[in-house]
Structure 1
Amino acid sequence: AGERGNTAGGVGEEEAGSQGRSMMSLLVVHFWAPWAPQCAQMNDVMAELAKEQPQVSFVKLEAEAVPEVSEKYEISSVPTFLFFKNSQKIDRLDGAHAPELTKKVQRHASSGSFPPSGNEHPKEDLSLRLKKLTHAAPCMLFMKGTPQEPRCGFSKQMVEILNKHNIQFSSFDIFSDEEVRQGLKTYSNWPTYPQLYVSGELIGGLDIIKELEASDELDTICPKAPKLEERLKVLTNKASVMLFMKGNKQVKNSKMVLFVISFDTFDILEDEEVRQGLKTYSNWPTYPQLYVKGELVGGLDIVKELRDNGELLPVLKGEN
């Protein structure tokens, strides 16, 4: 992933199309900032993806250096990724989400060299995708922006109501996917956003949620968020071996990397509540932290000591 495109000329839709190696080549543009550590992490991810996907073009743009381009594409935070194909913006990803970036690059890169033929298969595929998205969590909010950075007043009010009632929900930024944004309106016969779903069923928009709140029905419909201690217990037991670290194993920015056994990771930079709460929960003030079967093993020094003593593998297998 080179630095090309890092000029005031920016990336327009015409330029995006011409940068590809063919009419339908995929171009991924990373709007970044040198002061943001999460951008540096995602640059590493892009470099790996560039090796895996040589047919895809990757470009970095320093967002603050090209204000006109950033304004044109509504870049309000970094990192943000835009996807272009056939001179058109086809997708967007806000935030440092390495697995989601990888998934989007793979999906768009393998989507074929020809536009849809106009038959019914694309509609069927979209319908199936929307069904999966609305069922992705017990409570799903389709909104403009993210809960941390809502990009419209109605979405902001919806997030505030859900948080006030301690409702556990996941969200989808409809600005990140134009196909979903338009398709969901037809799928649910509901023309505006935000939209709230419970168990895959549409509850409604902001006005409906306000009515449910006023009638005290909201708490009975939506699932409550677990207390922090319960959540940490679930997270530490999510896999037999769990590593809580800064970043994730895709970006390999932690010195504690376990090659000998399967393990899962949690990026504590993406959840401040977990980052601070886990220190108290385990009485361990620093990261990374390694857990086996929900029990804290320790940090990097402890793991090094176990490795040097030949005890690490038995511990990871739960034999000690």
Structure 2
Amino acid sequence: MKMDQPSSAISTIPNGTNEFVPQTANVPVILLFRTSWEPSIQPGTALDDAFSALASAYNEQCGFFAVDAEGCPDLSLAYGITVVPSFVLLSSDGKTVQTKLDGIPEIDVLTRAVVSLVSSAPVRAPPPSSEEKETGNADNLDSRLKSLVTSSPVMLFMKGSPSAPRCGFSRQSVEILDSASIAYGTFDILMDEDVRQGLKKYSDWPTYPQLYAHGELMGGLDILKEMMEGGDLAEQLGVQALEAKKSLEERLSELIRRSRILVFIKGIPSAPKCGFSRQIVEILEDIVGEGGRRIAYDSFNILEDEEVRQGLKKYSDWPTYPQLYVDGELVGGLDIVKEMLESGDLQSMLVGSS
């Protein structure tokens, strides 16, 4: 079945593509892995509307792409796609995975992830106008600087980038903002001498880094440290902090409830990485529900996340894999599933919850 075409702000990666190559340098990218049969991301659904709206709002700062997970199996494998929809957020180098959202995310979680990705990308200075090139008019440089300092609610002018600071003061500033869960944009002053020298005069502040909030200079590292010590940094900057990183227990609690039937295996259903995982997949694939259709189930590849792999053993007090969960409750491993299959209990449990 052919997938419906996504919004015009979202590009479609052709089927058969085995490697993603960014079309534009230094721009973050969001890859949406979907299929024609997954209902949650079809046109007209809340999730599809939200993703299309984000693409329309941020398409000048970020690339948005839709990928048919089954039509691009090599690409799906490269990014560890085991469930659809999945959202893979790549940093501005087009390679580093900054965030991955497996399954159906809450819309506010998806929105925060996109905003954080866009905000963390280095801002590129607007090109000088022809008048500025010809006359060197200071007013035009001021216009460029004003555009830069207001390009994100919180802007940090630094040496280097957040992932590779070029001085200790810049590194400390990044660490403070990250620790406070604040989304911010950055500009590498080493890449533009006009901006580097002009901003000193524009804001009457002679050193770097420089932090701006809503276009207003807050100060340098010392001021940032004082603000951090003074209390809620996000509130002082007039922004809302991003959601704090969840604890492992919170992650696992949400993960096992991601789908009504969820199996933790080594590999993916189409390519299990061990015999036990292969056997439990075969059992699940053979369960038939109403109308003679196979039951729908979700899977998680524990080889892709060592934290989940080790943490789930303690969380559920079950030391081996695979592990099958129904409605957020552990059913057991392969031996238990086989026993339930023979008694008929597995059929009634899974069909009743599908």
TM tier, smaller = 0.3 to 0.5
TM-score by length of 1: 0.42
TM-score by length of 2: 0.38
Which structure is larger by alpha-carbon Rg, 1 or 2? 2
